């Protein structure tokens, strides 16, 4: 995206894999939730996250997880784009084949582009709709003309486009989702599906890309099974019983004592704490500003003041979490604790009042208190903001001028989410606010989330070290009313759109950093969320028959590069 690739032409493998990893055996993954579709490329249904992409369906190019945003050859053996990135050409590897043996051609690439542009998820429609013209220069070469797009990231976005076979993909039923497996060119094929319960992938013995540098040390298992669990406790107990192999832990109480037992003492279970260089995820309670009750920024700031994060961290999480204060926390893209530089100010000066002064100067921090659960200073501050917004506390109930009580629902999908929502509802009750908590199953939760049928919910946004087009999908005005985006708060601010445009137009890393920090300040000033916490390290438990590479990527551990130890 910016600068030069870290690896030279003809590199052997990525530095965070083990190219000599044993091949074979089976791994079982335990997944909390369910699924009712095998198509992750459309809005309809709940597909299995992270199962089909890259394993079954491949993109034109492979991302390096040791660099902010750099792609290397996969289906495409070469790429050409000018300095202004007004077009991009991909030349396909002549060996590239789908799992049914048909070669991957330029016609398949054009078909995939048009299919996803017209029938894919909102982000696909947005990205691929920017292409002015697409054409096949020959059987193996595709050109995308990008004149007028003014989007320097677009050639890379097109490089990550999943490629589907024209000869078997049915356009008329594509958006319906369903459990019919898609065919791709990846190293695995879907061989068994138990609706809502499990999916089994089997390595294709004739996989075309086994000698490509980007695939070395990747996809080492002969078989991968994904088992789904509806209940968090059952999910955890299944790992302890050895029913699945790898578990990412987010609960400090479980990490501290839940894994204790003979398997941990004798080394059959291994606990890894891994540092990641990526921005920490933004986990938060999200205000749906489409709802009138949350349309006033003073109300949203007040409700953030009422959350006693210190009490919740100490009493629910043993104090192991750190409070998140930025959408790019822990990276050079974060505005937290940094005054705006000249480039940021030049961008933001066009939108006076869009960023609060304390956030512009880097002085703002997430509200903190005494952790007592009864912080009177924060309660007074919150009630004053609510009074300014037209709400008054009387008789223990917060009401507006029409006498309507301040009442809303928090939508959650897991017991862990419910637990912290209960703590927050208690805090809100001190200000006379009634927050009802609604726990629903995964399918209903996803349906309501995609249609923005909620007042408040919990969500987690992951950001990379090279933010780009996906920021429009997260916070852009065009995504506010389009179903299926991740702009759950309904942000629609010209200043945010301008910051996102500056991100995608950045020609070097310093411009990107300034634009990302400006975006961070705008989002923080809008008080669209009540930030929660992040873990300072990634916590991963695994049974010792699963091996992992010695080197960890910049973005953290990548289980797709792990393997089954021989004889275990």
Q: What is the pLDDT of residues 508-562, one digit of tens each?
A: 999 999 999 999 999 999 999 999 999 999 999 999 999 999 999 999 999 999 9
Report the alpha-carbon distance of residue 342 to residue 364 in Å, rounded.
19
**Across-strand partners of 90?**
79, 142
Asked if the model's pLDDT at residue 567 lies above 80, the reply is no
Please write the tens of the pLDDT for every residue from 174-209: 999 899 999 999 999 999 999 999 999 999 999 999
pLDDT computed for residue 166 by the predictor: 98
How many C-alpha atoms does 501 have within 13 Å on its Cβ side?
A: 12
How many C-alpha atoms does 404 have within 13 Å on its Cβ side?
A: 7
pLDDT computed for residue 64 by the predictor: 97
In the numeric block, which tokens belong to residue 189?
């094929």
* CB proximity list for 389: less than 8 A, separation 6 or greater: 296, 298, 299, 302
pLDDT computed for residue 123 by the predictor: 87
pLDDT computed for residue 266 by the predictor: 96
- For the structural domain made of 26-215, what CATH number should be given? 3.40.190.10
253 neighbors 318 (Cβ within 8 angstroms): yes
Q: What angle do CA 494, 498, 504 make, to 5 degrees?
A: 145
Average pLDDT over the chain reads: 95
Choice among 106-115, 309-318, 420-429 with the minimum mean pLDDT: 309-318
Asked if the model's pLDDT at residue 115 lies above 90, the reply is yes
Domain edges within the chain: 26-215, 233-276+537-564, 282-534
Beta pairing, strands 407-412 & 456-461: parallel
Categorize the per-residue pLDDT at 122 as very low, low, confident or very high, splitting at 50, 70 and 90. confident
Query: Which is nearest to 88 in space by CA: 76, 98, 105?
Result: 76
**Average of pLDDT values for 478-502?**
95
In the numeric block, which tokens belong to residue 549?
């590479």
* Residue % of the chain over a pLDDT of 90: 90
Helix (H/G/I), strand (E/B), else coil: 121: coil
| The model scores a pTM over 0.95 | no
Residues in the chain: 568
pLDDT computed for residue 442 by the predictor: 85
Does the domain made of 282-534 have the CATH classification 3.10.105.10?
A: yes
Asked if the model's pLDDT at residue 82 lies above 90, the reply is yes
pLDDT computed for residue 328 by the predictor: 98
In the numeric block, which tokens belong to residue 176?
């319906």
């Amino acid at each position: 995206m910016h600068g030069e690739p870290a690896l030279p032409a003809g590199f052997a493998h990525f530095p965070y894999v083990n190219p000599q990893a044993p091949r074979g055996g089976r791994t079982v993954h335990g997944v909390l939730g369910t699924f009712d579709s095998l198509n992750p490329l459309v809005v309809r249904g709940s597909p299995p996250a992270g199962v089909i992409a890259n394993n079954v369906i491949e993109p034109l190019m492979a991302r390096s997880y040791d660099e902010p945003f750099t792609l290397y050859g996969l289906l495409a053996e070469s790429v050409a784009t000018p300095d202004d990135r007004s077009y991009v050409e991909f030349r396909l590897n002549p060996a590239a084949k789908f799992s049914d043996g048909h070669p991957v051609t330029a016609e398949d690439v054009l078909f995939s582009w048009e299919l996803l542009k017209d029938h894919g998820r909102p982000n696909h429609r947005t990205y691929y709709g920017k292409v002015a013209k697409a054409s096949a220069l020959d059987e193996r070469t595709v050109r995308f003309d990008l004149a007028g797009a003014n989007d320097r990231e677009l050639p890379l976005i097109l490089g990550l486009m999943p490629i589907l076979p024209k000869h078997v993909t049915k356009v008329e039923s594509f958006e319906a989702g369903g459990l019919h497996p898609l065919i791709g060119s990846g190293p695995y094929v879907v061989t068994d599906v138990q609706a809502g319960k499990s999916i089994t992938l089997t390595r294709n013995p004739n996989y075309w890309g086994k000698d490509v540098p980007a695939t070395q040390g990747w996809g080492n298992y002969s078989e991968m099974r994904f088992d789904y669990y509806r209940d968090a406790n059952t999910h955890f107990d299944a790992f302890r019983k050895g029913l699945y192999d790898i578990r990412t832990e987010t609960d400090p109480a479980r990490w501290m004592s839940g894994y204790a037992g003979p398997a941990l003492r004798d080394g059959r279970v291994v606990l890894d704490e891994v540092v990641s260089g990526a921005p920490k995820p933004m986990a938060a309670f999200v205000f749906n500003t489409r709802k009138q009750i949350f349309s006033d920024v003073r109300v949203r700031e007040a409700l953030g003041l009422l959350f006693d994060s210190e009490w919740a961290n100490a009493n629910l999480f043993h104090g192991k979490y750190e409070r998140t204060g930025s959408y790019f926390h822990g990276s050079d893209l974060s505005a937290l604790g940094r005054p705006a530089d000249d480039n940021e100010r030049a961008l933001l000066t066009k939108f006076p009042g869009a960023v609060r002064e304390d956030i512009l100067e880097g002085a703002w921090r997430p509200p903190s208190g005494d952790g007592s659960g009864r912080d009177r200073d924060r309660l007074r501050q919150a009630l004053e903001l609510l009074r300014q917004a037209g709400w008054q506390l009387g008789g223990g109930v917060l009401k507006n001028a029409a006498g309507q009580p301040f009442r809303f629902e928090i939508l959650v999908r897991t017991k862990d989410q419910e637990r912290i929502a209960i703590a927050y509802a208690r805090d809100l009750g001190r200000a006379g606010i009634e927050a009802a908590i609604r726990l629903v199953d995964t399918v209903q939760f996803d349906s309501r989330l995609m249609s923005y049928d909620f007042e408040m919910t919990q969500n987690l946004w992951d950001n990379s070290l090279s933010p780009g087009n996906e920021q429009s999908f997260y916070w852009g005005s065009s995504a506010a009313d389009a179903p299926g985006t991740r702009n759950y708060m309904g942000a629609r601010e010209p200043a945010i759109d301008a910051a996102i445009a500056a991100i995608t137009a950045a020609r070097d890393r310093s411009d990107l950093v300034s634009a990302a920090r400006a975006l961070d300040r705008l989002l923080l000033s809008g008080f669209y969320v009540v930030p929660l916490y992040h873990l300072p390290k990634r916590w991963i438990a695994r049974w010792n028959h699963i091996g992992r590479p010695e080197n960890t990527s910049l973005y953290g551990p990548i289980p797709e590069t792990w393997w089954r130890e021989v004889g275990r």
